[in-house]
Structure 1
Amino acid sequence: MLQEAASNILKFHDDFKSRIDVRLRDYPLMEGPVPMTSILLAYVLFAVFLGPRLMANRKPLRLNTAMIVYNFCMVLLNAIIVYEFMMSGWATTFTWRCDLIDTSKKPETLRMVRTGWLFYISKFIELLDTVFFVLRKKRTQITFLHVFHHSFMPWTWWWGVALTPAGGMGSFHAMVNSAVHVIMYFYYGLSAAGPRFQKYLWWKKYMTAIQLTQFVIVSIHISQYYFMEDCNYQLPLWIHLIWIYGVFFFLLFSNFWVQAYIKGKRLPSKDDKPTQNGSTSESIPVVANGKHLENGNANTHHHTNGKIIFGKVKEI
């Protein structure tokens, strides 16, 4: 029985490998689902068990310089991804409506294939967000949502890139997400740079609004599919998943916005001051990509009836 099950699994694995798009079959981490799944399982193990145990009896590391370099490199990387998405279709040949998956080998299509892969790889680089949390002993930031998003996002994108690298209308949300990450990591970089830059971070409360706008735009764009009579998108499952993702996180962020700004539970006080590590003393009300907007740069603490309640916000 076990031998038969193992044989069936191997057969399925080999069969699926043969379905990987030939245009990127030789790209790093695209040879099959096993290598990238192994990396992500190791990431979860490190984030939840090994990392915290490693740092349990050690002092938190000060990694401001490393975080400044990392964050501004992520700004550049995401800006490149946005530009490449635009130049490979979204600002050239796409209609912004029923744009189908392109299976040709035209130069512009191959450029879209490379960009989709680069977006996928960027999600592995973002695992460093969690590494910074662990090494700086920011345990409250390593929530289930944070770890789930950072592991699930690259895992699902592997399947999307492997089957539909030139994903047509299904790639729109990746472009928008990268544009938001340009802004987000720019904020991170300034926050890590120290107290002297805090005066330039007055716009942090608008980050949640930017996130909400992202989900509205993505949801509206992908919803067109349900009203088009002749949109024969080759893999409609991706359309459904993107729509569910956009609506779900819009509701999540809307709830945070209500709690933070309408009910005033997280409004910053006038007494909030920068700490020595260049972070603010109150939370950053943004959720982006399922992780904290504050990639180790901001701490939250509110005193209520003599108790300290640590607040956290997750980002997408």
Structure 2
Amino acid sequence: MDYVKLKTAYEENIEHINLLDDNDIVNRWTLTETSIGLGLVLALYLLVVLKILPNYMKNREPYSLKSILTKYNAFQVLSSAYIVFLYARYIVKHGIITTRCPQGVDLQGVIKEIYPYFIAKHLDLLDTVFFVLRKKDNQVTFLHLYHHTAMVSWTWLHLMYHPTDHFVVVGLLNSLVHVIMYAYYGISSMGPEYQKYVWWKKHLTKIQLVQFILVISHLYYQQKLTPCPLPAFFHYFCVFSIGSFFFLFLKFYFNSYTNKRRRE
């Protein structure tokens, strides 16, 4: 396939492409509309987990939430596995590098498949709610809050502002990691007697670090090879987010495991 010709044709006709009309699955929002909607969601999230719930829990005993957490983590494992299936199927059919530029009807299938990932990133915010209700304040770190807010921002820009299949590989890798991560959370929440089954905790962080390397590599080659690249600001936002995740998770790994072992 001649990517240069495809890319030139796309750039010449982008202004004439009607991405989505009123009868389509989702109306494409402007960047301003997307930013306002996203801002409201993030403001509500941060207000709840940093102000409202901590004040509510101030003079209360921590909740156990054992039953709720078991069900929540099981659902997260299953829903993440479902997204892995959706995106693996899409990659087998259409390839790793996006060549289907946004032209309305061609994108209807993938827009449907963006929704599960979009919803999943919002359900992930419940992690923080459960930490606060259980008074696990040490878990509500800058890394935790930054990671969740950045991922929600990513999915809002993806679905509402620039809905394409550009992030299918990213969604697959991230959801695969979440299958493992929520399996770990689920086992851990079942009680002290199950801790012997989660000896691989530090290896989970290693898997996350490998994920970030693969995602950044894919974002680079995707933007370089696709005939319909992302808007520059969105591409660099994604690269910066994943790059910062890598360094923050790497710092967490050294602080939690390497430096701790040295102190012992």
Shorter-normalised TM range: 0.7 to 0.9
Q: Percent identity?
A: 31
Q: Which residue does the alignment assign to 2:25?
A: 24
Letter in 1 for 2:108: L
Give me the whole-angstrom Cα distance separating, in 1, the residues matched to 2:47 and 2:163. 29
**Do the aligned partners of 2:19 and 2:103 also contact (CA within 8 Å) in 1?**
no
> 2:138 aligned with 1:136, yes or no?
no
Correspondences of 1:63-74 after superposition (within 5 Å) = 63-74=65-76
Structure 1 unaligned spans of 5+: 1-18, 269-301, 305-316
Task: Say whether residues 1:215 and 2:212 are aligned partners.
Answer: yes
Q: Residues 69-218 of structure 1 correspond to what in structure 2 (within 5 A)?
A: 69-87=71-89, 89-94=90-95, 96-106=96-106, 109-168=107-166, 170-218=167-215
Alignment length, in residue pairs? Answer: 240
For the 8 Å contact 1:20–1:163, the answer to whether it is kept is no
Q: Does residue 259 of structure 2 align to residue 265 of structure 1? A: yes
Q: In the TM superposition, what is the alpha-carbon distance from 1:79 to its structure 2 partner?
A: 0.9
Partner of 2:54: 52
| Cα 1:122/1:98, change in 2 over 3 Å | closer
- In the alignment, does 2:245 pair up with 1:249? yes
> Equivalent residue of 1:160, what SS?
helix
8 A Cα contact 1:71 1:188, kept in partner: yes
Which deviations, in whole Å up to 9, do the C-alpha atoms of 1:179-230 show, x marking residues without a partner?
Answer: 11111001000111123322221211211110111011111112225654x7
Cα distance in 2 for residues equivalent to 1:226 and 1:111: 22
CA spacing shift, 1:171–1:235, aligned 2, 3 Å: farther
Q: Equivalents in 2 of 1:142, 1:254: separation in Å?
A: 18
Q: What CA distance in whole angstroms lies between the structure 1 residues aligned with 2:193 and 2:82?
A: 29
Please name the residue that 1:238 is paired with. Answer: 234
The RMSD of aligned alpha carbons is 2.8
Give the alignment's TM-score, normalised by structure 2. Answer: 0.79
Question: TM-score, normalization: structure 1?
Answer: 0.67
CA contact (8 A) 1:52 1:134 kept: yes
AA matched with 1:248: S
Distance 1:38 1:241, change over 3 A: closer
Q: Which structure 2 segments of 5+ residues have no match? A: 1-17
Give the 3 Å change call, closer, same or farther, for CA 142–253 of structure 1 in structure 2.
closer
- Structure with greater helix percent: 2
Q: Indicate if the aligned counterparts of 2:49 and 2:128 stay in contact, CA closer than 8 A.
A: yes
Q: Could you say which residue in structure 2 is the equivalent of 1:6? A: none
Q: Which structure has more RCO (C-alpha within 8 Å, separation ≥ 6)?
A: 2
1:188–1:164 CA distance, 2 compared to 1 (3 A): same
